[in-house]
């Protein structure tokens, strides 16, 4: 106690609420400009195109995730559930998603504030740091929550995976700390178990949380692992059981194995060597956050000793100091383990498809900031609070500035290629945006750069092939399509476009071969059956073509082109009744189809059933008034039935259509010869 009876290190509630308010307001100010940031990159597949978040009432589907794998949400039911709540509240309005992301980040910052403040008041630190617990905890929380390195985990919507994991991780530790000081600890320990379980359902990095709680107990509370286990063994057994939840999710059909593991195409030793430079860059960005890059690319480092050795020496030295500190300076050892232990699942020997992402520093950053803040406080004493606030203001301004880079998908990819010019994926994604805007020149430039950087990049080769095919360079396009399917045999779209290109340049048997392989991979694609039917028809194999057209219509009864082809084949064989039936069946399924009314009108006119043909042409025009083909044929049918004035009226509405001038002249001559000329 201190004079007056006030408990030592017990700040008033007013001071705590004031500190919490500062944290909340600072975060709101820094991220105020993030609410209009659109969905970008993986947001499209994981949110906008994710069917499993559309119906919150179907909880089983929500927790199971989308039916296809390799998305950020797969095997992460808590993440997918949070997105489903967002969708139920506001559909795909981005403001709601950003609001939840920021709320998670703010809550995590407040919990970090509580963890740091209470840790500084634990026996190993109380004598030296207890009086500084409030200002130092406030400084750490502010700098952590406002650090621009955190923007990727907050502003990029789908990286809610990281911030949600961070919140669960911090809550697991915080509730444990509260339990150790409570007369009824199991209430808090139960919350710790729940939070740990939820974290396992948010992201796999949660795997280290049970061990980190045990290490915290040994460092700050029990003083040894033996005593920690004797006093709280049942808690650690429960925390260990949460690994079963993670294991069950990891072994499920969700698709994480496509981007994680020793069989994803990246040798473990290459990945491990790369992580020495990656962790060094993480540390550099923590201390000096420039440049921040949305996508660092997935490539491993070149095996150059000049590039690797300095990073290896830095990281091995830090690991060695951490191991030594665990014995002689346990608190410093705990911070080192926090940093390396949380990074270990993504930055060790287990290869991931992407070697570096800034959001992976979301939790490890706290250890770096804690060390820096403690050093500043030892140097500046009580004046350090003002220094913390000054740094926090600067960090908040940098965060707001970084959020501007996310203002559009085009802006973030332009920023990425400017800062990381050797990133093939960034050029490929930028090219896709230009292609969507029909800027073929810019798209081709980006795709060509991506292929130059990574010649066997399937997606970039495919996209470059699309641009080349659209600009009439089929032979060059074919080469890129074939490269894409050589690298990735299951790339069905590339194989289909290879077939289309082969068909266009007259290499029909080769086109058929590509279509047949694609159909073995994706037999339920009506378009693919139709394309194969065209090729077989062109090769003079009508019976097989009919089979493919029929398959296309069976899979998609509204497939107009396939229906028209079947009717044309029937008419070509003289079976007008069968052709007419196909058209009328199609119209019963989908009344008002312009192309079908037009084709049926042509069929009826060809059999001299002009009144019925006229009716079909009028229906086609009712559905599509600007259809010049339907209007021209209507005029012809009217002329052939002697309705000359009506025919002239139709012709005069389309004077620039080939053949109209001659027919109009003929109709006017017929009118003049009939004595009805004005």
Q: 392-448: per-residue pLDDT in tens?
A: 999 999 999 999 999 999 999 999 999 999 999 999 999 999 999 999 999 999 999
Using CA atoms, how far residue 464 sits from 218, 409, 442, 482, 531, in Å, is 57, 20, 11, 12, 22
Of the three residues 351, 372, 404, the one that is the final residue of a domain is: 404
List, as own/partner pairs, every contact residues 567-571 make where C-beta atoms lie below 8 angstroms and the sequence separation is at least 24, other chains included. Answer: 567/599, 567/603, 569/537, 569/542, 569/545, 571/603, 571/606
Q: Which two tokens stand for residue 27?
A: 């975060």
622 located within any domain: yes
Query: Cα 586 vs. chain centroid, distance in angstroms?
Result: 38
Cβ contacts of 659 within 8 Å, gap of 6 or more: 632
| Residues making up the chain, counted from first to last | 678
Residues 284 and 474: their CA atoms lie apart, in Å, by: 47
Using CA atoms, how far residue 226 sits from 123, 219, 492, in Å, is 18, 12, 58
Of the three residues 369, 404, 439, the one that is the final residue of a domain is: 404
Q: Which two tokens stand for residue 165?
A: 């994991």
Question: Can you tell me which residue has the tokens 């027919």?
Answer: 663
Cβ contacts of 561 within 8 Å, gap of 6 or more: 530
Residues 230 and 214: their CA atoms lie apart, in Å, by: 12
Q: What value, to the nearest 5°, has the Cα angle with vertex 521 and ends 519 and 526? A: 40
23-73 pLDDT per residue, tens: 999 999 999 999 999 999 999 999 999 999 999 999 999 999 998 877 899
- Find the helix or strand (DSSP H, E) in which 437 lies: none
263 located within any domain: yes
Phi, psi angles (nearest 5°) of residue 2: -105, 165
pTM value is: 0.87
Q: Which two tokens stand for residue 247?
A: 């294991």
Number of neighbours of residue 665 by Cβ within 10 angstroms: 11
- Cβ contact 172:196 at 8 Å: yes
Number of neighbours of residue 494 by Cβ within 10 angstroms: 28
Q: Tell me, what's the pLDDT at 261? A: 53
Cβ contacts of 227 within 8 Å, gap of 6 or more: none
117 located within any domain: yes
Q: Hey, which bits of 414-487 come out as E strands?
A: none
Q: Which stretches of the chain score pLDDT less than 70? A: 1-11, 253-265, 299-305, 675-678
* Helix boundaries (H) for 147-250: 151-155, 160-180, 185-200, 209-216, 225-250
Q: Which two tokens stand for residue 667?
A: 């109709």
| Residue 456 CB-half CA count within 13 A | 5
377 located within any domain: yes
Number of neighbours of residue 669 by Cβ within 10 angstroms: 12
3 located within any domain: no
Phi, psi angles (nearest 5°) of residue 260: -135, 135
Using CA atoms, how far residue 595 sits from 245, 616, 617, 624, in Å, is 55, 10, 10, 10
Q: What value, to the nearest 5°, has the Cα angle with vertex 57 and ends 54 and 59? A: 90
Number of domains in the chain: 2
Which residues sit opposite 260 in a β-bridge? Answer: 352
Residues 428 and 446: their CA atoms lie apart, in Å, by: 6
Residues 196 and 206: their CA atoms lie apart, in Å, by: 8
Residues 285 and 391: their CA atoms lie apart, in Å, by: 15
Residues 46 and 31: their CA atoms lie apart, in Å, by: 23
531 located within any domain: no
**Collapsed DSSP state (helix, strand, coil) of residue 363:** coil
Q: Which two tokens stand for residue 333?
A: 């050892």
Cβ contacts of 247 within 8 Å, gap of 6 or more: none
Number of neighbours of residue 189 by Cβ within 10 angstroms: 21
Of the three residues 404, 432, 466, the one that is the final residue of a domain is: 404
Residues 86 and 40: their CA atoms lie apart, in Å, by: 17
In the DSSP assignment, the letter for residue 438 is T
The two counts, helices (H) then strands (E), for the chain are 33, 0
Number of neighbours of residue 397 by Cβ within 10 angstroms: 14
Cβ contacts of 448 within 8 Å, gap of 6 or more: 464
Residues 26 and 36: their CA atoms lie apart, in Å, by: 19
Q: Tell me, what's the pLDDT at 259? A: 55
**Residue of 377, 374, 279 whose CA lies nearest to 331:** 374
Q: Tell me, what's the pLDDT at 300? A: 61
Number of neighbours of residue 131 by Cβ within 10 angstroms: 15
- Find the helix or strand (DSSP H, E) in which 207 lies: none
503 located within any domain: no
Identify the CATH number of the domain in which residue 673 sits: 1.25.40.10
Residues 141 and 129: their CA atoms lie apart, in Å, by: 16
CA torsion, ordered 629, 634, 635, 638, to nearest 10 deg: 160
376 located within any domain: yes
Structural domain boundaries enclosing 663:
592-678
Question: Can you tell me which residue has the tokens 């944290």?
Answer: 23
Q: What value, to the nearest 5°, has the Cα angle with vertex 527 and ends 526 and 529? A: 65
């Amino acid at each position: 106690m201190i004079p007056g009876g006030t408990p030592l290190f017990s700040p008033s509630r007013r001071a705590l609420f004031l500190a919490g308010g500062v944290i909340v307001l600072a975060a709101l100010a820094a991220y105020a400009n993030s609410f209009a940031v659109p969905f970008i990159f993986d947001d499209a597949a994981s949110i906008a195109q994710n069917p499993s978040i559309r119906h919150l009432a179907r909880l089983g589907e929500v927790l199971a995730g989308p039916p296809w794998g390799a998305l950020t949400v797969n095997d992460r039911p808590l993440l997918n559930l949070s997105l489903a709540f967002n969708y139920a509240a506001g559909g795909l309005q981005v403001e709601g998603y950003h609001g939840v992301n920021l709320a998670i980040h703010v809550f995590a910052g407040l919990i970090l504030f509580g963890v740091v403040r209470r840790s500084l008041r634990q026996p190993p630190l109380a004598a030296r740091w207890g009086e500084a617990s409030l200002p130092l905890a406030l400084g750490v929380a502010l700098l952590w929550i406002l650090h621009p390195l955190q923007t990727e985990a907050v502003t990029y919507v789908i990286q809610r995976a990281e911030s949600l994991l961070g919140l669960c991780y911090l809550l697991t530790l915080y509730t444990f700390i509260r339990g150790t000081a409570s007369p009824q600890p199991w209430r808090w320990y139960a919350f710790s178990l729940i939070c740990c379980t939820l974290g396992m359902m948010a992201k796999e990095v949660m795997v280290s949380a049970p061990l980190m709680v045990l290490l915290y107990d040994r460092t700050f509370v029990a003083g040894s692992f033996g005593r920690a286990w004797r006093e709280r063994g049942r808690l650690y057994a429960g925390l260990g059981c949460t690994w079963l939840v993670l294991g069950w999710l990891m072994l499920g059909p969700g698709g994480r194995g496509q981007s994680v593991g020793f069989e994803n195409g990246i040798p473990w030793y290459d990945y491990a060597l790369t992580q020495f430079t990656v962790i060094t860059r993480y540390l550099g960005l923590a201390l000096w956050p420039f440049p921040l890059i949305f996508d660092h690319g997935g490539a491993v480092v070149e095996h150059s000793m000049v590039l690797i050795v300095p990073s290896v020496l830095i990281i091995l030295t830090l690991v060695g100091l951490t191991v030594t500190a665990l014995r002689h300076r346990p608190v410093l050892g705990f911070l080192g383990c926090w940093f390396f232990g949380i990074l270990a699942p993504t930055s060790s020997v287990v290869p991931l498809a992407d070697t570096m992402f800034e959001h992976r520093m979301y939790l490890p950053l706290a250890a770096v900031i804690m060390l820096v803040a403690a050093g500043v406080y030892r140097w500046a004493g009580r004046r350090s609070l003002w220094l913390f606030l000054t740094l926090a203001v600067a960090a908040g301004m940098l965060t707001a500035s970084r959020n501007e880079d996310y203002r559009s998908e085009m802006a973030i990819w332009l920023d990425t290629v400017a800062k990381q010019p050797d990133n093939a994926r960034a050029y490929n994604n930028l090219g896709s945006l230009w292609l969507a805007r029909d800027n073929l020149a810019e798209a081709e430039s980006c795709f060509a750069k991506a292929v130059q950087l990574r010649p066997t990049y399937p997606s970039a080769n495919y996209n470059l092939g699309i641009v080349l095919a659209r600009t009439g360079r089929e032979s060059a396009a074919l080469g890129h399509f074939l490269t894409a399917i050589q690298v990735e045999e299951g790339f069905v779209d590339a194989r289909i476009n290879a077939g289309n290109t082969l068909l266009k340049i007259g290499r029909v048997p080769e086109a058929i071969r590509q279509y047949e392989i694609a159909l073995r991979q994706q037999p339920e694609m009506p378009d693919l059956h139709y394309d194969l039917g065209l090729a077989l028809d062109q090769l003079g194999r009508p019976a097989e073509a009919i089979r493919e057209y029929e398959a296309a219509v069976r899979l998609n009864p509204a497939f107009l082109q396939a229906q028209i082809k079947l009717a044309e084949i029937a008419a070509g064989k003289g079976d007008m009744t069968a052709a007419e039936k196909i058209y009328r069946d199609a119209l019963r399924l989908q009344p008002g189809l312009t192309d079908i009314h037009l084709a049926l009108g042509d069929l009826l006119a060809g059999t001299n059933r002009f009144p019925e043909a006229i009716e079909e042409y009028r229906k086609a025009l009712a559905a599509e008034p600007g259809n010049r083909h339907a209007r021209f044929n209507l005029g012809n049918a009217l002329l052939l039935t002697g309705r000359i004035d009506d025919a002239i009226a139709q012709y005069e509405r389309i004077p620039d259509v080939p053949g109209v001038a001659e027919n109009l002249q003929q109709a006017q001559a017929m009118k003049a010869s009939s004595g009805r000329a004005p």
